[in-house]
Structure 1
Amino acid sequence: MTDNVESVELDAIVPESFYGKRLDQALAELFPDYSRSRIKDWILAGNVSVNDVNVSKPREKLVGGESVAINAQIEVHGSHQAQDIELDIVYEDDDILVINKPRDLVVHPGAGNADGTILNALLNHVPDIATVPRAGIVHRLDKDTTGLMVVAKTIPAQTHLVEQLQAREISREYEAVVYGTMVAGGMVDQPIGRHPTKRTSMAIRETGKLATTHYRVMEKFRAHTHLRLKLETGRTHQIRVHMSYLKHPLVGDPLYGGRPKLPKRAGPDMVHMLRTFNRQALHAAQLELAHPISGEWMGWQAPLPDDMVELLAVLKQDTEEHGVDWE
C-alpha cells in the first residue's frame, strides 16, 4: 500500500473577543475537532492563512475580526495492512466503537507483532479509520488483559476522547484476582515509570508519572482475593504494578508476580489451575464516558471471560474445603 492524503479545508472569522490571543490558541478554540498539536504543525508547515496571507508563527497575535483559513492534508498511512480479524463489537455508531478484547490479541503492531492486531482489524472493519491517528486507538489494554476498549472512528471523535482521558473524565473499572487475602479496599497512589534495568517492565519510581488506583474487595478466598478496581490514571501496567507493590500480585502475571504460589493443602484442581493460568487475571469490566460528539453519557459492561470464571470457581471450592488462611 502507498500513502494517500485527505484534504482538510476550514475557515472562520476571528471573534472580537479573541483580541490578544495567539494564533494557535485561537484556532484550537475555533476548530475544537482538531488537537492543538495538530493545528500547531499545520501553522509551522505553512497551511494557515490570516487575511489571505500565510502565517507560520503559532505565537502570532490576533486582534479580532481576521479571516483565518486552514488548507492542509492528513496522511493516510499505508504501512499497516487491513486484515479480516473478527472483533467482538459491543457498540458502534458513526463516531465510535466499543470492543470487548479477548486475550492473546495485541492492540497495536510492534516488535514481535507486525500484524494480526486490533489495529489491523479496525482498518478492515472501518477503512476510513486510516485517516485517524493510530487508527482511532486512544487507550490500550495489555495483550493478555481482556475487556472493553473505545475506539474513535473520526478525527473529531479522537480529539475529544483524548481530551476526556487527559481530564480523567472517562471511567474505567476492572476485575482482578490477586494472591493473598485482602481484608479491605483502599487506594494506591504511587508514581510509575520505566524499570531502571528491565526495559519491558514498569516500576514504582519517584521520578515516574502520577498513578492512582482505587480497589475494593468483591470476594475473599482462602489465599486469594477477587477485586474491583477503578483507575484515575492510565499508566502502562498500572494495576499490575500497583498490586505487586501491595504484595498482592495478580494471579498468572509472570512479569510482576513471579512463579505461581500454591497455598498449603492445595488440591489437584487448585494446583492445576494456578500452574496453567497463563495470563494476568485482569478484565476491563466497565467503561463509561461522554459521547465525543453528542455529549451523551454512555456506559457498557463486559462479563468475565470463561477462564476467570473457572478460576474463581476453583478458588471458591478450595475455600469451602479448607476454610480461610489469614496468615
Structure 2
Amino acid sequence: MTQQLELEGVISDSQLGQRLDQALAECFPDYSRSRIKEWILAERVSLNGKTVAKPREKVMGGEAVLIQAEFEEEVAAKPQDIALDIVYEDDDILVINKPADLVVHPGAGNHDGTVLNALLHHCPSIANVPRAGIVHRLDKDTTGLMVVAKTIPAQTHLVAQLQAREITREYEAIALGVMTAGGHVDEPIGRHPQRRTHMAVTELGKPAVTHYRIREKFRAHTRLRLRLETGRTHQIRVHMAHLGHPLVGDPLYSGRPRPVKGWSEELREFLRRFNRQALHAAMLRLEHPITGEMMQWTAPIPDDMVRLTELLRRDTEEHGFDY
C-alpha cells in the first residue's frame, strides 16, 4: 500500500546558500532530512516548477517548493488481535504498558504475536509509519512503558527527542548483591565479541550512560531506580552486570542465585522460579511531538517484582539486618 501527499512551501531568503536537503528539512520539519533526501533522489521535488535531483544543490531563497511525497507501506507483518494495555492515546501517539513475555518486533523465532502485530490491528494506518511507529524498544521480558508514534510527523519529532536525550525513561530493578551508593555508569556498549546474542561493555561500542540510585537494601539484593541517558540494546542489564550487580533472573547476564543462609523456602523457591530480568520501565516523560505539551506517565510495578520485594523485605526484617 502506498500513501501519497503533496507538500508545498517557500524557501526563505535567509536560507540562501544552503544545501537543498538542509533547506527542505527546515521548511518541512515534520519529515527527517534522510527521508527528504530520498524524495530528492527519486525526482519528487521541484523548485519553481523544475524538478531537482541533487541534494547538494544550493538554494537561492524564495523558491516555491512542491514535493510529491510518497510513503511505501513499511510493515509486512500481519495485524493480530492481541490485547494492549493502553495508558494513553490520541491522534498522534500511543503509550502502552508492555507485559513480560511479549516481543516488540517480529524476528527469528518470533514471527508473530508481537507488539507490532497488535499495533497493526489496533491502528491499521500505522502500517504507513516506519517500524509501525515504534520509537524505542523494551526487551521481551522487560515490562513497562513504551511510546508509539501513530503518524510520520509524530515519529520524526519523537526520534529527534530521543537523539537529543530529551525523553526521560526511568526503570525499577532488583539487582544481586548489596550496593553501597548510587552513581552512574558511563561505558560504551557493543556486540559481545564471542557471544553474538549478548551485548558487552567494549571499547568499540557506542556511548552509553546509565544513572542509578538505591531505593532499598536487602540482605543480598538491592532495589534500584535507574534513568537512561542513552538507549543501547540491553543497556541497564549490561551496565549492572559490569558493576558486578546483575539483575535478578537475567537469563543472559546473571548466574544462578546463590542461596543465603536463613532464606525461607518460599523465598528460595520464588527466586529459583523468577525466570525473567527484574526490570520495569516505570516512568516516561516527553514533549508531545505535535502539541509541545510536556507529558508524563507511570506504570505500577508488576506483581512478580512486588512479591519479590515483599519476600526480600521480610527476610531482611526477620534477620535484623542493619546497614
TM-score (norm 2): 0.98
Match of 2:91 in 1: 94
Partner of 2:124 in structure 1? 127
Measured after TM superposition, the shift of residue 267 of structure 1 is: 1.9
Partner of 1:112: 109
Letter in 2 for 1:193: G
- Indicate the SS of the match to 1:149: strand
Task: Provide the rounded CA distance (Å) in 2 between the counterparts of 1:229 and 1:106.
Answer: 22
- The CA deviation at 1:247 is 0.4
192, 203, 208: which one pairs with 1:206? 203
- Structure 2 equivalent of residue 6 of structure 1: 3
CA distance in 1, matches of 2:277, 2:90: 32
Q: Distance in 1 between matches of 2:75 and 2:95?
A: 24
Counterpart of 2:256?
259
AA in 1 matched with 2:21: D
Matched residue, 1:67: 64
Q: Is the 8 A contact 2:104 2:114 kept in 1?
A: yes
Q: Per-residue deviation at 1:72?
A: 2.5
Maintained 8 Å contact 2:74/2:129: no
Q: Which string of whole-angstrom CA distances, capped at 9 and with x for unpartnered residues, describes residues 213-247 of structure 1?
A: 11001010011000000010010000000000110
SS at match of 1:234: coil
Q: Deviations over 1:268-314 (max 9, x none)?
A: 01210110000000000000000000000000000100000010011
What SS is found at the alignment partner of 1:255? coil
Residue 42 of structure 1 corresponds to 39
Q: Give the corresponding residue for 2:79.
A: 82
CA-atom RMSD in angstroms? 1.1
Kindly provide the CA deviation profile for residues 104-150 of structure 1, in whole angstroms up to 9, marking residues without a partner as x.
Answer: 00001111110100000000111110110000000000000000000
User: Deviation of residue 77 (structure 1)?
Assistant: 4.0
User: Do the aligned partners of 2:170 and 2:284 also contact (CA within 8 Å) in 1?
Assistant: yes
* Amino acid corresponding to residue 123 of structure 1 in structure 2: L
Question: Is 1:241 aligned with 2:238?
Answer: yes
Aligned partner (choices 315, 319, 322) of residue 319 of structure 2: 322
Partner of 1:226: 223
Residue 271 of structure 1 is aligned with which of 268, 277, 287? Answer: 268
Q: Which residue pairs with 1:16 in the alignment?
A: 13
Note closer, same or farther for the CA distance 1:41–1:288 as it changes in structure 2 (3 Å cut): same
Q: Give the partner amino acid of 1:313.
A: E
The aligned runs of 1:145-184 (5 Å cut-off) are: 145-184=142-181
Equivalent residue for 1:250? Answer: 247
Is 1:297–2:301 an aligned residue pair? Answer: no
Corresponding residue SS for 2:270: helix
Shift of 1:325: 8.4
Looking at structure 2, the residues matched to 172 and 261 of structure 1 have their Cα atoms a distance apart, in angstroms, of: 31
Gaps of at least 5 residues in structure 2 are none
Deviates more, 1:234-243 or 1:267-276: 267-276
Residues paired across the two proteins, number = 323
- The 1-side partners of 2:74 and 2:41 are apart by 21
State the percentage of identical aligned residues: 69
With the length of structure 1 as denominator, give the TM-score of the two structures: 0.97
Amino acid in the other structure paired with 1:317: R
Q: Which stretch has the larger CA shift, 259-268 or 297-306?
A: 259-268
Provide the C-alpha distance between the structure 2 equivalents of 1:323 and 1:263, rounded to a whole number of angstroms. Answer: 14
Q: Is the CA contact 1:223–1:325 (under 8 Å) kept in the aligned structure 2?
A: no
Consecutive unaligned residues of structure 1, counting only runs of 5 or more, are none
Deviates more, 1:291-300 or 1:317-326: 317-326
SS of the equivalent of 1:254 reads coil
Aligned mates of 2:187, 2:228 — CA distance in 1: 13
Q: Distance in 2 between matches of 1:114 and 1:325?
A: 49
Q: Look up the equivalent residue of 2:87 and give its one-letter code.
A: V
1:186 aligned to which of 165, 183, 205: 183
Go from structure 1 to structure 2 and tell me whether the alpha carbon gap of 1:325 and 1:268 turns closer, same or farther (over 3 Å shift). farther
Structure 1 residues 240, 302: CA separation in 2 closer, same or farther (over 3 Å shift)? Answer: same
Contact 1:222 1:323 in 2 (8 A): no
Deviation at 1:78, TM superposition (A): 5.4
